[in-house]
Amino acid sequence: MSAEDTPMITTVLSIGGHGFSADDLTSLLGVQPTKVWRRPEKLDWLKAADPDLASMEWRYIMEKQRKWSFGEAIDEVLNVFWSKRAELNEFLTRNNLGLHVRCRPFGDASKLEYIIQPEVLKKLAELSASLSLAIYKDEL
């Protein structure tokens, strides 16, 4: 099977919460974020509806990487930060932040392995990360 047949997955690692310093996090991790998102003022009403919903996120995005499985994509994004996991966990705890990994596949879904290896699940657990898979039939 050629490289072009390998499915593509966009993987996003986001660290979200309220009022933390994106610059301090960038300095700590030694990696520039792809994007720092802040909730627009017009959506401030969400604070009352769901106070735990993040008002800002530091995002690192690996856009449309050719991967055989979700586990492979997740492991690749976690490995970017893995050497700093102790410092990252301390920063998350100190600032009451959450870490989330989101995967979104593109291409032929029949060629994608819908597995996450046990060692990758252990990494997610060590970071107390949540995980979501965004699968849209019109984009496969």
- Residue extents of the structural domains in the chain: 3-139
Give the whole-angstrom CA distance, residue 93 versus residue 116.
Answer: 26
- pTM (2 d.p.): 0.84
Percentage of the chain beyond pLDDT 90 is 60
Instruction: Give the closest residue to 32 by CA, choosing from 66, 90, 80, 92.
Output: 80
SS3 139: helix
Q: Show the CA angle centred on residue 113, arms to residues 112 and 118, nearest 5°.
A: 150
Evaluate if residue 120 carries a pLDDT over 90.
yes
Evaluate if residue 70 carries a pLDDT over 70.
yes
Burial of 136 per CB tally in 10 Å (0-12, 13-18, 19+) = exposed
More confident residue, 40 or 72: 72
Q: Which residue has the tokens 């700590």?
A: 28
Q: Are 35 and 61 in contact (CB under 8 A)?
A: yes
| Residue 135: predicted pLDDT | 75
Evaluate if residue 104 carries a pLDDT over 60.
yes
pLDDT tens digits, 20-57: 999 999 999 999 999 998 765 655 655 555 556 566 88
Percentage of the chain beyond pLDDT 70 is 82
